Structure 1
């Protein structure tokens, strides 16, 4: 198709398919309209092909055609934004080559970092100082381009007399997790301008969003020493159209037929069992953990107090397991059950990778930019963090705010921001000695700060205990899942339908705690608190009380109910009991001690022994002076019934209560 034919053909196309949209754009003062490329291709194949092959020349000609139409006082700079390009034009970032430069293509990806919106000179007007003539010059380079010469022959003496500005934004887009499994994701610079920088579009292009962009791939010279131009080029995408492709909970398409199926399933008498059997069905057993993950998918309700403080609704779960207990596999599957779910390994993650960071990007973005981490990318979803204990201690502190307040605050360089992190955490860790020991407090088994441990609503131990009957069932289950083709182990609820069910529940159900359910939770809480005393173990704290409410609300959502029933409360209580028994049971006292599960520096039994030893030290000081023989201290402690006093003395030394001034001697600090 000839260049001169483009405006005429475009005018015909717009008159036939987009006259109403153009009239509406004129009345509303819109800056652009979206054009379906498939319609253009049906109307005129040659025009469509020309658009794909020579977009920089064709798009301005097509936009010029808008002025020929009688649709009212339309913006003379109205932009045509093209979408729905052929699948063949959807190119992976890692597959971009020189042949794609100058072509209209489609890129999918996640926005990793972005600049603020900044004005840019689109056209500069220069005044010739010899004849007074004004010369407009379109600007496309990093620095202002001067006129080559004036009609009067002047080539040097020009003064800037005016300029036209438009808003711009640079972002880095990275290939999505789904297509880069096992690969290092490639990234690409993206250039947004004009109406692609409005507040609404800014939200779409902030770090963490998953988008599909249509644009023209262009080259940019790499920086070289001096004034010489580098032979190597960088590439960027000059964007024409942006659409969000992140499937949010609320955006999953739920037709009337699917809604009817959801309502029917909600009334199934075995609805909870069906969900449990649909979570990692290839993994045998662990039903209580799968039930907890089910509740994590649905989540509780976020509560905003009168003082504007918030109580989170997301449920955090920690799994501590022996080797070969399918902990990692279960976490991986769980992260795939919901949109925006992420799976990361603690061994290769940093604070910036988990939360967010501010980095300096002078060459392209021109200054400090905000980069989203995995917690932000998983906002309103969940993240599975395997090998949690291997995260560096200086990095793991970044999770304090993210797990409880569900925000990530950044105040670095010239950027002050608070990013949303409404993210449920499913973490997995390995005991220091390889196997979980129920007789040892969790603090001594897994290297996680106690301030982080307390933020987990539930903690479970996955133990590999030899049991002939269970071992045979696991072996048979593995055979059926992997080797017998006639047996198809698949989820009872299809994964796609499960997502839609959870999305529907999250959108339509906001359960309130009934008086009956509240009384049941209160009764359980007070009964456990009643056995606690000043000197005895504390069995439960308000943190677990809040967790019980969250789980009860999630249980109600499974049946699409807007009221939490007594049965929901009992279901949450049973799961909490399992968690407390596994991590909080003190074999010395036979009671639940929450300090064993929460990683406190000393359990109730240890604190009692510490007080006895402190009294013994005070008595022995009267006899021996400040330096007490360690042997005498141990002997007196055993006489008073303290078991394993050496361990308690060692713990007191590590906590700085006592110290050893010389070999075989103990002194108070």
Structure 2
């Protein structure tokens, strides 16, 4: 930029700052004046602009922030405006500091940065309500009525020593109408959980006036301001320890959980085109865009997308309701990319909260009680993952690593979509309308091809039954598939490196939908109202499919119940989510067909017993009907045999061989059932190697 007279460094600082504002912020100041003071009261100044204008002034902004703040606001006050308005109370808020002056809490030495202007990056974990803070208190003398104005600081409340009118020492009362107040708020900023070492460092920031209420709990922010110290006290004694805090001047929100969508007209047009099938079947295009690195798993990818969109809560006239969210579980062998899919869902979903299974606790998932050192020291209820994700998605990887009692705490928020918590006799209800996307390994870490898949789940049946869609992901060697997957992995990695180096890239590796558009597509779809059926024929299609499945076996022949009516509700939620993702106002025949295919694929994975029959008990109770019938026969045989034995125990080999002859039972299945009795049910013991004794009730 060429030098001009306005760059003359011999000018007084106030004049040079006036030149700066005229050069860089003329239009912004005019716009501020048009909306001042009701709609806007601040001018945001980019630090890079200050540095470009004069590096010395930029250095002073960092080292002498309070002085430069006064000069900048004075320059704004005397700015020559084309309209008759004064910006005397407007703020100038400097932001976008260089990376070397922007820190996470705990990354810097407070004593070395005392009084300096810095940016603090982190997650807002607590926020007070916006409260009135007195800047100048007007004390009215009760004897003579004189008003005594006393400026107030951030420390103790200052009262007049004597009346300026009658010179007596009061008594006084605060005249609120004549006092000056400003909105204020306190924010606690912590290192984000994924970056925190241990409990994580924190710092409190105090903000005032129009930036109050900009950030909310869960937002990732950068607060720019001046670092100060506050001396700790114990009773009336002052301690030698000082706590740093930030006097915040600007808040930049980098990531928010709030559902305010900023979708431009161009982006919305692109989303509508995609939803209308401009580039192919919408759900297939989306599945391909979820993770280009992960090859295949099209149905599983579709299920994750539908979980992020979900259906809609239905309220009935009598006050009853149906949950809206779709819960999806992937159970698979190690190295099958299920964790990668969960991670991508967490990145792309709207209002997602990730859970680390090994470190998770029940209160951390739901609601925890803690003593509040942020406000008045009272005990408060702290929102857990499900509460934070209300309206979004909870992503859980390695579900099998989570402690059983912690997994049990997921039941209430998943089914009831709310949590009731009590503290000091008070009961509070927290909404948890969040979908759950989870992944885990089978009981022994890898699926055993010689054991029925339902027997290899290490999760309680009441938790499994909460999931609408469950898929098994198995690593089965196949020459053709393995070659295709290997090519895809190598091509994807090579393309990423080539793209980074500016070399020619295979276009096929690029996702059809840009990640930011994809994220906004999910968010827009999620906010669509629940669509009804387009016609009775659509409803008839779903009903016929369901009833046909119910009639698969003749119940009179003591066959299993293939599916319960709980699954019909799952089907409707999935159909709603498909229609919403396509921004359709109704559920069509095509939506019903796609829904049936996805739900059917899930049932093929986990809805069958060891005989290949659909059996609702596999998920509902954890054991298939045929297995429960077989275990009753095994129990009765063991009990009869041990009654006749002198030592009250029976050889396992004799049980398996006898039942093979009398009932044509597979010996391996019988032995597996006996092991389950001993290890899982606790109804039998092995008093001696190769022998069993039944100890449960008959």
TM over 0.5: yes
Listed one character per residue, the Cα deviations across residues 486-535 of structure 1 (whole Å, up to 9, x for unaligned) are: 66422232223322333444456753223333222211221222236384
2:227 matches 1:217: yes
Q: How far, CA to CA, are the matches of 1:174 and 1:667 in structure 2?
A: 52
Counterpart for residue 530 of structure 1? 551
- Alpha carbons of structure 1 residues 80 and 190: separation in structure 2 relative to 1, 3 Å: same
**Selected match of 2:261 from 232, 251, 256:** 251
Instruction: Give 3-state SS (helix, strand or coil) of 1:277's partner.
Output: helix
What does 1:358-437 correspond to in 2, within 5 Å?
358-362=369-373, 366-413=377-424, 417-437=428-448
| 1:240–1:381 distance in 2 versus 1, CA, 3 Å | same
**Cα distance 1:422–1:329, how it changes in 2: closer, same or farther (>3 A)?**
same
Aligned partner of 1:307 among 307, 318, 334: 318
Matches within 5 A, 1:81-92: 81-83=91-93, 85-88=95-98, 91-92=102-103
CA RMSD of aligned residues (A): 5.1
Report the Cα offset of residue 455 of structure 1.
1.6
Cα 1:97–1:576 shift into 2, 3 Å: same
Secondary structure of the structure 2 residue equivalent to 1:320: strand
Task: Map 1:191-590 onto structure 2 (within 5 A).
Answer: 191-193=206-208, 201=213, 205-223=215-233, 227-230=237-240, 232-242=241-251, 244-246=253-255, 251-256=261-266, 259-260=269-270, 262-263=272-273, 266-362=277-373, 366-413=377-424, 417-437=428-448, 444-483=455-494, 485=498, 488=506, 489-507=509-527, 510-514=530-534, 515-531=536-552, 533=555, 535-588=558-611, 590=612
Alignment of 1:162 onto 2:162: no
The alpha carbon displacement at 1:270 in A equals: 4.2
- Alignment partners' CA distance in 1, 2:374 and 2:268: 50
Aligned counterparts of 1:371 and 1:496: Cα–Cα separation in 2: 31
Retained in 1: the 8 A contact 2:532–2:586?
yes
Out of 78-87 and 654-663, give the one that drifted further: 654-663
Q: SS in structure 2 opposite 1:577?
A: helix
Deviation per residue, 1:266-311 (Å, 9 max, x gap): 3334444332222222222222212222323433333333334443
Task: Give CA deviations for 1:380-419 in whole Å, capped at 9, x if unaligned.
Answer: 4333211112122332333223323434444335986544
Q: 1:171 to 1:388 in 2, by over 3 A?
A: same
| Mapped partners of 1:448, 1:160: distance in 2 | 69
Contact 2:141–2:173 (CA under 8 A) maintained in structure 1? no
Name the SS for the 1:347 alignment partner: coil
CA distance in 1, matches of 2:215, 2:427: 18
Alpha-carbon separation, structure 1, partners of 2:85 and 2:484: 75
C-alpha change, 1:570 and 1:440, in structure 2 (3 Å) is: farther
CA distance in structure 1 between the aligned counterparts of 2:696 and 2:463, rounded to whole angstroms: 33
Distance in 2 separating the partners of 1:307 and 1:458: 29
Cα deviation 1:425-474 (Å, max 9, x = unaligned):
22111122121246756675343333222221111111111212212222
Aligned to 1:37: 45
The equivalent of 2:90 in structure 1 is 80
Aligned residues: 652
Task: Pick closer, same or farther for the CA change 1:464–1:308 going to 2, 3 Å.
Answer: same
Using the alignment, how far apart are the partners of 1:665 and 1:554 within structure 2? 49
Higher mean alpha-carbon deviation, 457-466 vs 519-528, is at 519-528
- Residues 406 and 442 of structure 1: is their aligned pair in 2 closer, same or farther, counting only changes over 3 Å? farther
SS at match of 2:511: coil
Distance 2:401 2:582 in 1: 38
- Given the alignment of the two structures, is residue 172 of structure 1 paired with residue 165 of structure 2, yes or no? no
Per the alignment, residue 602 of structure 1 pairs with: 623
Separation in structure 1 between the aligned mates of residue 251 and residue 242 of structure 2, nearest angstrom: 25
Segments of structure 1 that go 5 or more residues without pairing to the other structure are: none
The CA distance in 2 between the partners of 1:177 and 1:490, in whole Å, is 31
CA contact (8 A) 2:47 2:58 kept: no
Query: Bigger shift: 550-559 or 30-39?
Result: 30-39
For the residues of structure 1 that align with 2:216 and 2:580, how far apart are their CA atoms? 31
Q: Secondary structure at the match of 2:663?
A: coil
Q: What's the TM-score once normalised by structure 2's chain length?
A: 0.76
Please say if residues 135 and 147 of structure 1, whose CA atoms lie closer than 8 Å, have aligned partners that are also in contact.
yes
Shift of 1:319: 0.9
Structure 2 gap segments, 5+ residues each = 1-10, 499-503
Distance 1:510 1:110 in 2: 33
Distance 2:139 2:17 in 1: 30
Question: Which 10-residue stretch deviates more, 321-330 or 303-312?
Answer: 303-312
Q: Tell me, yes or no, if the aligned pair for 1:37 and 1:48 is still in contact at 8 Å.
A: no
TM score, norm. by length of structure 1: 0.79
Structure 1 pair 71–487 and aligned structure 2 pair: CA distance change class (3 A): closer
Give me the whole-angstrom Cα distance separating, in 1, the residues matched to 2:628 and 2:250. Answer: 64
Paired residues for 1:605-624 under 5 Å: 605-612=626-633
Change (3 A) 1:614 1:328: closer
Matched position secondary structure for 1:349:
coil
Residues 1:618 and 1:504: Cα distance change in structure 2 (over 3 Å): closer
- SS of 1:251's partner is coil
Displacement of 1:652 in angstroms is: 5.8
